[in-house]
Structure 1
Amino acid sequence: MTDSREAVLRLADFLPYQLSIASNAVSNSIAEVYRARFGLKIPEWRVMAVLGDRGALTQRELTEATVMDKVAVNRACKALEARGLLAREPNARDGRSHHLVLTDAGAAIYGRIMPLALEMEQRLFATLAPDERATFSRLLAAVLAEAAKHDPAAG
Structure 2
Amino acid sequence: MSFDLDGFLPYRLAVAAAQVSRRFAALYEAEAGLSIPEWRVLAHLGKSGPVSVRDITQRVNLDKSVVSRAATRLEQAGHLRKSGHDSDQRLVALELTEDGRALMARLGRIADTFQAELLAELGEDAAPLLRALDRLGR
**Which runs of 5 or more structure 2 residues have no equivalent in the other structure?**
none
Q: Given the alignment of the two structures, is residue 138 of structure 1 paired with residue 131 of structure 2, yes or no?
A: yes
Q: Given the alignment of the two structures, is residue 45 of structure 1 paired with residue 39 of structure 2, yes or no?
A: yes
- 1:127 is displaced (CA, Å) by 2.9
Question: For each residue in 1:84-112, what CA deviation from the matched residue of structure 2 results, as whole angstroms up to 9, or x when unmatched?
Answer: 11111211311100211011111100001
Larger RCO: 1 or 2 (CA < 8 Å, sep 6+): 2
- Look up the SS of the partner of 1:127 in the other structure: helix
Does structure 1 retain, via aligned residues, the 8 Å contact 2:82–2:92?
yes
Does structure 1 retain, via aligned residues, the 8 Å contact 2:81–2:94?
yes
Question: For each residue in 1:25-79, what CA deviation from the matched residue of structure 2 results, as whole angstroms up to 9, or x when unmatched?
Answer: 1111111111111010111001100110111111111111111121211111111
Q: Give the TM-score normalised by the residue count of structure 2.
A: 0.92
Residue 79 of structure 1 corresponds to 73
Q: Given the alignment of the two structures, is residue 19 of structure 1 paired with residue 5 of structure 2, yes or no?
A: no
Residue 50 of structure 2 corresponds to 56
How many angstroms apart in 2 are the aligned matches of 1:119 and 1:16? 27
How many angstroms apart in 2 are the aligned matches of 1:129 and 1:38? 30
How many angstroms apart in 1 are the aligned matches of 2:128 and 2:100? 33
- 1:143 is displaced (CA, Å) by 1.6
Matches within 5 A, 1:54-133: 54-129=48-123, 132-133=125-126
Identity %: 36
Q: Give the TM-score normalised by the residue count of structure 1.
A: 0.82
- Look up the SS of the partner of 2:101 in the other structure: helix
Compared CA separation, residues 134 and 107, structure 1 to 2 (3 A) = same
Give the letter for the 2:34 counterpart.
L
How big is the alpha-carbon RMSD for the aligned residues of Structure 1 and Structure 2?
Answer: 1.5
Does structure 1 retain, via aligned residues, the 8 Å contact 2:37–2:70?
yes
- 1:144 is displaced (CA, Å) by 2.5
- 1:141 is displaced (CA, Å) by 2.7
Does structure 1 retain, via aligned residues, the 8 Å contact 2:51–2:85?
no
How many angstroms apart in 1 are the aligned matches of 2:134 and 2:12? 16
